[in-house]
Amino acid sequence: MHRSEFMTRHAKSLAKLVLCFIAVSIPGTSSATEPWADSSLPIEKDLAIWLDASRINAGIAAANGNELKNKQTVSVWPDASGNGRDVIQSDASRRPRFITGDDFQAVRFGGAEQCLQRTASQWQANELTVFVVAATYSNPDAFSGWLSFSSNDTNDYLSGLNIDQTTGSPATLQVISVEGAGQAGASNLLTNSHRYGEVVQFCLRTVPGSTTLWLNGQQQGSRDRADNSPISLENFVLGARRFTHGGPPEPRGFFHGDIAEVLVYSRGLDHAERESIQRYLEHQYASVPDQPIIGIDNGGKPLARVKPSIPVQVFRPGFRVRKLPVDLPNINNIRYREDGQLIALGYDGNVWKLSDSDDDGLADQADLFWKNQGQLRAPIGMALTPPGYSKGNGLFIAAKGKCTLLVDTDNDDFADKEIIVADGWNEIANHVDALGVAVDPEDESVFFGLGTTDYVDGYLINDDGVAEYTVDNDHGNIIKVAPDFKSREIYSTGIRFPVGLHFNRQGDLFCTDQEGATWLPNGNPFDEFLHLQKGRHYGFPPRHPKHLPDVIDEPSTYDYKPQHQSTCGFCFNEPVNANGRTFGPERWTGDAFVTGYSRGKLYRTELVKTGEDYVARNELFACLNQLTADCCITPDGGLLVACHSGGPDWGSGPAGRGTLFKIEYAQDETAQPVLAWPSGPREVRIEFDHPVDPEQLQRLAASIDITAGEFVGAGDSFESLWPGYAVVQGQHRTPRHDIRVYSAQLTSDRHALLLATDPLDAAVSYAVSIPLANSPDASDDSLPQQLQLDLAFNMTGTLAEFKRDNKVLWSGWLPSVDLAVSREWTAGSAFHDQLWTLLDESKKQNANGQLTMNSKLDLEQLLRPVVQPGSKLDFQWPDEIVTVDVNQNVTLAISDGDASQRVFTGIDQLVPVTLSALLPSDETVSTAIRYSTNEDSRWRPLPPSRSYLPWVTEQSSADSEIAMVPEEIAGGDWNAGYELFHHAQTGCAKCHTVNGKGGQIGPDLSNLIHRDYASVYRDVTQPSFAINPDYLVSTLLLEDGRVLTGSIRTVEGKLHVGDSNGKTTIIDPDEVERLQPSLKSIMPEGLLDQYSPQQIRDLMTFLLTHAPAEPEQPIDGR
């Protein structure tokens, strides 16, 4: 694990480990160290490199440089050996930092791109002795290394020498792997673990014939080294490895920790010499305590993980979580029968019936339905027999080597017979084979999946370089078995490992498939949700001009990002039986709940069918601290989740113990977020299905958190599981950027929360976290939840406008250019209901209106999978030619061409488009965009994820300062606006403060400089449109008969009621007989009606821009 927060500082003496490398003989070493070096070093002969952090400033001063302060970046670390082999970093963004304290000086490498290098020519050796003193904080990358040597053009593990931690994210320092010239392959020489944060000395001895590690003077492991194996020292990298698979070597595997000292000798020190250096280093560092572990330094906003992790954190209010009181092994699959009986398939092959003996809604009794006595190996996939099934009541199971049916033939509700549905294929070497099974509700055909033969070599390349994979292979396919089990056929190809397989209520077949690009660069780049159609190929292995040229890689219905979620079991939100309920709000009916095994995720994926295909969008519903394997709907409308114990990727296996959780929708009246979207370049709108209780949103602007980044997601702070892959560590190192929130307002109907923010223009992901003031009372057996709302949005969608008679009746964001899709996905949004009502009324009245939608389309690589980061293909495709098309009654205008331009070649940037339609027409007009390519003429719907808002840029604004001066205030006078704001006639300053001047009845407006013109103008002209929850208006009836109306603040136990005239009345809370919240703002309507356009520009200039330089600002009272 690489998280610094897991460790605390231990005030203990240093236990030193000496890593002493005796390797090659280095020519040209000096016998005289630098004058500023430590003169007490016992051995100077053949010292090739000496980096001492405690003398770094002395070396810089000797070169007339500027002294480094604490935490300043290091561009050069002077070499004290006298050989002038300083290590440098010319890229300012990749420099480590100098750390100095009372007891420790070091150079800190942040685990993300930071390293120092030294390049020489024709430098090699046969013996080498290296000492390293370091505090290691985590293993943030695959093969995270302390240092490496290599030739200029060959990877370190082939040409030089490297020391790293290999892969994985353990909680302690468990691996010191050494490899290089003459000693190929990772080899852990460390025999006992050490704490992260402990300042240690490594000592490694490598000579022709052998390499040996010492720790604290004690010999550890050894490995063989070829005699004729000179080590290249042309490239020395400190704080990283140096290698690339399939390209020129580059620094990778970045070190996360502090390095205090490095000594490299050009010969193999003998036993006495090694001990003398060890004693020298002990004297220098014996009193240094463990260092407090710091997080990875990626130059962005740090991510604080929730500690301790929460078993199940639901990201929405109104839900409770309970744990089932049963002790069972890891459960792979769960489903309720139509009679309400819960059936659970164990990883060990046993099948359980679970019952609720005390009617508390939780199953608490488990009985064996089927005792596995070796018949089932690695069963992953279960489907219940349909009601009244002719072969008996039971379940279908996909397992290693077969798909089978277990049935109850004597009606005692225990399975007593196994019927083979399909078998006879060549089993693959993997632990799993057949997986995922479903029964067609129409004709009772059985579908199951067969995993790919070789997930590393998907094409099955033989010794002659010929691919042996074909789409006719048994493996890597979805198999359809006839209802009588007498025949079977290949239904779909290109499947990797379809863990979940189910039909939805429309009778369409879906599966989850797992990411595979880690092994095959463009084979399943992400975990997938697939709508399976007969005869289509789904991308594993992917199309290849030589090995597999005659397939088209069907795009997934939805990709779960970022990489390595390991999507497994799923269920559709459909009732168990005729009297059953669905889970959550009614509009969630039919959605898919999908488990992400490796990171403990639970997704809600919304689907809309468009012709033969589906489009999808997704939200992260919950995060768990166990591996989520499957889920199902309960008869009473809950969601049951099965979890495995153990860590990613694979958990604790068939012998491990599992957990079942039940998530219940406890509060129908709780306001649920329907959608979150960027309603403007500087505004986020969150729409709720019920009026929001303003008490839950007090002081929101100061406490809300918005984060932006390529790999940012909702509730990232709750994630506690990470599979040990380089790309996962890379995701953690990728910068996250803070999006400041300047104000928060509720609309007058309290259905929407409006957030004024920093610019929102980068095509990345955005996560919003909103703390909640209170929550429904939890029952005694409910698991704890952190009281906050977590959701995410991105910059996809379209900006729409509906006009009639040249008057704009509605404008705003839609999730898709396809109106049918947008209507489905905005269900519950009162804001969008206005549009649908307008369209419905127009149709009834036969009153045409003009709908216009503006977007930017991503038309790059539509039928070509993306390539794994850091990998390269062994071929290059020609440009993809894309044709886009719309309904004949819809106009598609391209900004870079005329309205008829529909064909694009080699597109590598977003394409601005405008769609226009006259609605309603005599027939239902589809506004969907579809596409085809020169490689496949089949029309497919353009996924909504490829349509972006018109102001979006492809480069993050976090990397550059953006000036946004609204054109509406051009010619405005800030000083004149200041006078208007503070003039008694306007009365603005009676209630509002700007830069410390004004009243406190209304919100402080000092941050309006960070908002856009349109939203501020709206708030001034329509003050009741959105009201800051901290300044909601109420009418108070007092005991003495007085009636006060205004915003209420509590100051030192008294109520301060501010009215529309700027007057504040102070009362005791006990004086209030009744309090009635108001939907109106105390700010009157029509404030700007009395002013000229120029005066309005002046006032808005004052509110939206910084003051001009002094002394132009007027003096108070002028």
729-785 residue pLDDT tens: 778 878 899 999 988 999 989 999 999 999 999 999 999 999 987 655 556 789 999
d(CA 576, CA 387): 12
Q: Above 60 in pLDDT, residue 901?
A: no
Phi, psi of 571 (to 5 degrees): -145, 155
d(CA 989, CA 623): 46
> With bands split at pLDDT 50, 70 and 90, how would you rate the model's confidence at 887?
confident
- Judge whether 756 and 769 are in contact, CB under 8 Å: no
- Judge whether 421 and 382 are in contact, CB under 8 Å: no
Average pLDDT rounded to a whole number, residues 11-36: 49
Kindly report, residue by residue over 167-203, the tens digit of the pLDDT: 766 778 889 999 999 998 889 999 988 889 999 999 8
Helix (H, G, I), strand (E, B) or coil at 491: strand
Average pLDDT value for the chain: 89
- Where is pLDDT greater, at 1047 or 798? 798
> Which amino acid appears at position 205 of this protein?
R
d(CA 681, CA 676): 14
d(CA 68, CA 79): 16
- Where is pLDDT greater, at 735 or 115? 115
- Judge whether 1114 and 978 are in contact, CB under 8 Å: yes
Q: Above 90 in pLDDT, residue 3?
A: no
- Where is pLDDT greater, at 492 or 93? 492
d(CA 550, CA 254): 41
Tokens of 346: 């164990």
- Judge whether 708 and 736 are in contact, CB under 8 Å: yes
The pLDDT value given to residue 1115: 31
Average pLDDT rounded to a whole number, residues 68-86: 96
Kindly report, residue by residue over 528-545, the tens digit of the pLDDT: 999 999 999 999 999 999
* Region 967-1032+1078-1104: CATH code: 1.10.760.10
- Judge whether 1064 and 1057 are in contact, CB under 8 Å: yes
What's the order of all strands across the beta sheet hosting 1043-1051? Answer: 1064-1067, 1054-1058, 1043-1051, 1033-1038, 1072-1077
Helix (H, G, I), strand (E, B) or coil at 178: strand
The pLDDT value given to residue 778: 55
Q: 224: exposed, middle or buried (C-beta count within 10 Å: 0-12, 13-18, 19+)?
A: exposed
Q: Above 90 in pLDDT, residue 667?
A: no
Half-sphere exposure of 230 (CA within 13 A, CB side): 11
Residue with tokens 């309507």: 1085
Half-sphere exposure of 312 (CA within 13 A, CB side): 25
The pLDDT value given to residue 1049: 77
Query: Please, which residues bridge with residue 879 across strands?
Result: none
Q: Above 80 in pLDDT, residue 1109?
A: no
d(CA 120, CA 105): 28
Query: Considering the entire predicted model, what is its pTM?
Result: 0.79
Fold exhibited by the domain 673-794: Immunoglobulin-like (2.60.40)
The pLDDT value given to residue 665: 95
List where CATH 2.120.10.30 sits in the chain. Answer: 312-665
d(CA 694, CA 697): 5
CB atoms within 10 A of CB 272: 8
Flag the least confident range among 251-265, 278-292, 525-539, 1018-1032.
Answer: 1018-1032
Helix (H, G, I), strand (E, B) or coil at 358: coil
Nearest to 759, CA basis, from 912, 962, 576, 616: 962
The pLDDT value given to residue 723: 83
The strand ranges marked E within 590-667 are 592-596, 601-610, 613-624, 627-633, 639-644, 657-665
List where CATH 2.60.40.1220 sits in the chain. Answer: 673-794
The pLDDT value given to residue 32: 85
The secondary structure element, H or E, covering residue 1014 is: helix 1013-1021
> With bands split at pLDDT 50, 70 and 90, how would you rate the model's confidence at 1025?
low
Kindly report, residue by residue over 91-100, the tens digit of the pLDDT: 998 999 999 9
Helix (H, G, I), strand (E, B) or coil at 860: coil
Q: Above 50 in pLDDT, residue 8?
A: no
Q: Above 70 in pLDDT, residue 964?
A: no
Local structure of residue 274 (DSSP, 8 states):
H
Query: Please, which residues bridge with residue 1054 across strands?
Result: 1051
Classify 501 in phi/psi space as left (phi over 0), alpha (psi -120 to 50) or beta: beta
Pick the CATH number of 312-665 from 3.60.21.10, 2.40.160.40, 2.40.10.10, 2.120.10.30: 2.120.10.30
List where CATH 1.10.760.10 sits in the chain. Answer: 967-1032+1078-1104
What string of H, E and C letters represents the secondary structure of 609-623?
EECCEEEEEEEEEEE
Residue with tokens 């459909």: 574
Percent of the chain with pLDDT over 70: 92
Local structure of residue 942 (DSSP, 8 states):
P
d(CA 688, CA 724): 38
Cα dihedral across residues 666, 672, 674, 675: positive or negative: negative
Vertex 931: Cα angle to 566 and 950 (nearest 5): 85
The pLDDT value given to residue 427: 92
Flag the least confident range among 356-365, 613-622, 902-911, 1029-1038.
Answer: 1029-1038
Q: Above 80 in pLDDT, residue 920?
A: no
- Judge whether 242 and 249 are in contact, CB under 8 Å: yes
Q: Above 50 in pLDDT, residue 27?
A: no
Vertex 600: Cα angle to 594 and 604 (nearest 5): 25
The pLDDT value given to residue 171: 75
Q: What DSSP string describes 21-57?
A: ------TT--SS--TTS-TT-S--TTEEEEEEGGGHH
d(CA 607, CA 590): 8
Percent of the chain with pLDDT over 90: 65
**Could you tell me the CA-to-CA distances from 257 to 138, 199, 779 in Å, in that order?**
7, 10, 45
- Where is pLDDT greater, at 86 or 101? 86
Nearest to 28, CA basis, from 159, 122, 152: 122
d(CA 1050, CA 1067): 10
The pLDDT value given to residue 1012: 66
d(CA 646, CA 627): 7
- CA 262 to chain CA centroid, Å, is 37
Vertex 583: Cα angle to 582 and 588 (nearest 5): 85
Average pLDDT rounded to a whole number, residues 501-516: 97
